[in-house]
Chains A and B, each alone.
Chain A
Amino acid sequence: MHKYANPNQFLRIANPLLPWLSGLTVLCMGMGLYLGLFASPKDYQQGETVRIMYIHVPSAWMAMFVYGSMAMAGATALIWRHPLGHMIAKASAPVGASFTMICLLTGSLWGKPMWGTWWVWDARLTSVLILFFLYIGYIALVNAFDDSARGQRTASVLVLVGAVNLPIIKFSVDWWNTLHQPASVVRMDGPAVHPSMLWPLLIMSIGFTMFYFVVLILRLRSELAATKIRNIRLGQAGE
């Protein structure tokens, strides 16, 4: 276990995987697009707009999955004092924030034709918006230090605080929403999911997950190179 926590060792395993993961990403996303846009029926209530679901819902899952991964990586790094976990958390954050943004924007584009408005303060939308704030806070903190290793360690503490708070925030937003139920929204639940809709959803989710892994490896390589560059420069300054 400890052997793989060495970033160099990790990349030695991850690099050969990169072409395979990239291929899977393209394959799954292509299949997801085909199934989502052509092969799946339109919803009897939502019509064609249901096709937005095939990117909206997987990106919502990714938003949560990536934050969960960051919290796990940060926790392991803090407990066993391995830098790899901090690096994974840092490399994941922009991907997670992007998926959260996609989720919010596509949700908005889905809401306009369905509910007649770009935004409602619905419990789920609000929770995702707050998740986006947490990502932004993490990214701001991790980049706010001159010593990047220090920034990563501190930001891992933040991501854990956020992970503990997330259920509380979610609960509070649900509570708040039941107090202020918006009247305009008729149907908050997504369409009843039929198997012909489930497949594009699942395949697209796998595609998004693979995309996350690909970008994660690329960004880890950047981080690792940056660490080595810093060490060389520190060594030069010391001479």
Chain B
Amino acid sequence: MEQITEFLAMGGHGAYIWSAYGITTIVLLAVLVVSIRHMRGQEYLLQQLRAARRGGASHQNELDE
């Protein structure tokens, strides 16, 4: 137990060290989450549009991509 407290205190500079690591984690996670969500949203929208086209104008299938 004492070891853990000592580890967390980091020789009295714990607040600085842990907030540095905390900020890094938060920023990197935020970048990752935003990127994944955006990608999912765009790819979903693309599927929807393609499905709609296939339903509406099937003769144009060949022109996709």
Contacts and interface: CB of A to CB of B under 8 A. Distances in A.
Are any A and B Cβ atoms less than 8 Å apart in their complex?
yes
Contacts of B38: 219, 222
Interface in B3-45: 7, 10-14, 16-17, 19-21, 23-24, 27-28, 30-32, 34-36, 38-39, 42-43, 45
Chain B, interface SS category: helix
A109 B16 contact: yes
B46 A222 contact: no
A2 to B, nearest CB: 18
A40 interface: no
Nearest to B57: A239
Contacts of B7: 38
A48 B17 contact: yes
13 contacts: A48-B10, A49-B13, A52-B20, A56-B20, A98-B28, A102-B23, A102-B24, A211-B32, A215-B35, A221-B42, A225-B46, A228-B46, A232-B46
Contacts of B49: 229, 232-233
A39 interface: no
A225 B13 contact: no
Contact of A225 (B24, B32, B42): B42
Contacts of B14: 48
Interface string A45-70: 00111011001100100000000000
Could you say which interface size class chain A belongs to? 35 or more
B24 A106 contact: yes
Contacts of A56: 20
Contacts of A218: 32, 35-36, 39
A8 B46 CA distance: 15
Interface in A85-134: 94-95, 98, 101-102, 105-106, 109-110, 112-113
Interface residues of B, number: 32
Interface of A: 8, 33, 37-38, 42, 47-49, 51-52, 55-56, 59, 94-95, 98, 101-102, 105-106, 109-110, 112-113, 211, 214-215, 218-219, 221-222, 225-226, 228-229, 232-233, 235
Contacts of A8: 65
A94 B12 CA distance: 34
A95 B13 contact: no
Contacts of B27: 98, 101-102
Contacts of A225: 39, 42-43, 45-46
A229 B46 contact: yes
Contact of B45 (A101, A109, A229): A229
Contacts of A211: 28, 32
A232 B21 contact: no
B53 to A, nearest CB: 7
Contacts of A95: 31
